[in-house]
Amino acid sequence: MNDPLPTADSSFLAPAAQELAVVNRLKAGDRGAFRELYQWYGDRLYREILRKLPNREAAEDCLKEALRKAMERIDQFEPRGASIFFWLKRIAVNLAMDHHRAEQRRRKLHQRIDLMESTAAKPPAPDRNLEVEDTQREVDLSLSKLNPRYAQVLRLRLIEERSREEAAQIMGVSLSNLDVLLHRACKAFRKVYPP
C-alpha cells in the first residue's frame, strides 16, 4: 500500500538559504516576505490541514489562524537547520487537532444524551478515546470500521490511486457499479473519519 502522506517528500521546500533570508525578513517586519512564504507553503499547509479537518471552511479558518499565530510569534522561530514549513505545519496540525477534539467532545455529549433518551440497548461504541495523531493510522482505523467492500474501493481509488478500470477488475464489478460503490464508501467513510 502506498503511503498517501507527502511528508517525506521535501522537493516542494524552498532552498534553505532563500528560506532563511525570508525568515530574517519576516522577523524584521517585512510583510512582503510573508506573501512570499505564503506563496511557497500556503497551499501545502492547507492540504495538510484538510487531512485532519476535511471540512473546507474549517480548514481555511484553521489555516488562517495557524499562520496568524505563527507570524505573531515569528521571533520565537529558530531554524536550526529545519525548514520553517515543518514549524508551520506543526502549529496548523495542532490547531486542527484541537478543533477536531472539540468537535469530538461535542459529538460525545450528543451521543450520551441520545443514549440517555434511548430505551433500546445499543452495541458499545468504538473506543473514541484513542488519541491517534498519525494521519495514516487514523485513516486505517476509520477504514477498519467500514464495510470491507467500501474500505477496499477507497483504498484502490483514493489511496492507491488506481484507475477505474483497474479497480473494477480487482473488485470484479462493472465501472458504473464501481462508481456507485465508491460514492457510498465516501459517505460511510466521512461518518467515521476522523475517528
Partner 1 sequence: MMTPEEQASALAALLDQRTATDDPTLLEGLDTEVLEALYALRPELAPPARVSADDILSSLTEGPLADVSGEVAPETPVVNLQEVRRSRRQWLPWGTVLAAAAALVLFVRTGGEAPEAPAPSQEVPATRVAPAEELEDEEFEELVRDKAPIAGVVDRVSEQTPDAPSAPNALTEGFGGIAGEIAAEKTIEESIGAKGFSGAAKQAASARKQEIPAPAPFEDEDDSPVQRTVPPAARDQSPTPAAPPPPPEAKFETRGNTRKSKAAQAQEVAPVIAEADEEIPAEEMLAEEAELAPFADENLELRTKAVVTQASTTRAPIILRRRDREPLDSLNTAYPSPPLSAIDLSVLPTNVSIEPRDNALCTLSINLFVEPSATWYLVLEDSCSSAQRSKIERALKKVDWEAVLSDGPARFNLALSLLPK
Complex with partner 1: residue 64 or 115, whichever CB lies closer: 64
Per-residue CA distances from 161 to 95, 142, 156 (Å): 29, 18, 6
Complex with partner 1: residue 83 or 143, whichever CB lies closer: 143
Contact between 103 and 58 (Cβ < 8 Å)? no
Lay out the site mask for partner 1 across 41-60 (x = CB under 8 A, - = otherwise): -xx--xxx-xx--xxx--xx
Phi, psi of 146 (to 5 degrees): -95, 165
Query: Does 158 sit near partner 1 (CB under 8 A)?
Result: yes
Distance CA 161, CA 166 (A): 10
Any idea what the Cα angle at residue 177 is, between residues 175 and 178, rounded to 5°?
A: 65
Complex with partner 1: residue 8 or 120, whichever CB lies closer: 8
The grid cell for 82 is: 529545519
Complex with partner 1: residue 94 or 184, whichever CB lies closer: 184
The binding site for partner 1 (CB under 8 A) comprises 4, 26-31, 34-35, 38-39, 42-43, 46-48, 50-51, 54-56, 59-60, 63-64, 67-68, 71-75, 139, 154, 157-159, 161, 164, 175-176, 178-180, 182-187, 189-191, 193-194
